[in-house]
Amino acid sequence: MADQTLSQSGENSPEHVAYRLMERIADVEGISLSRTGNEKLATRKWILDTYAESVDAVRANRRYSKPQT
C-alpha cells in the first residue's frame, strides 16, 4: 500500500508534469517519442531541450521570447 501512495505522489511532481507537457508538445508538433507510426522521430537533442524547457515552464522559470501582454 505504501508503494501505491509513493507512485501517486510523483504524478503531481514538477518533473512528471513537465514530462506530460513534453508529450503534449510532441503530439502538437507531430513528433514521435517512439519508433511507431509515420511521424518524425524525436532526436535526443529535441527530447532534452524540450524537457528542460518544460521543466522551466512548470517551475515558472521560463524566459519568454516575446513580451507578455
pLDDT tens readout for residues 3-32: 444 445 578 899 999 999 999 999 999 999
pTM, full prediction? 0.74
The answer to whether 22 and 54 are in contact (CB under 8 A) is: yes
Residue 54 has which C-alpha cell? 518544460
* pLDDT confidence of residue 62: 80
Residue 16 has which C-alpha cell? 512528471
Q: How many Å apart are CA 28 and CA 55, to the nearest integer? A: 18
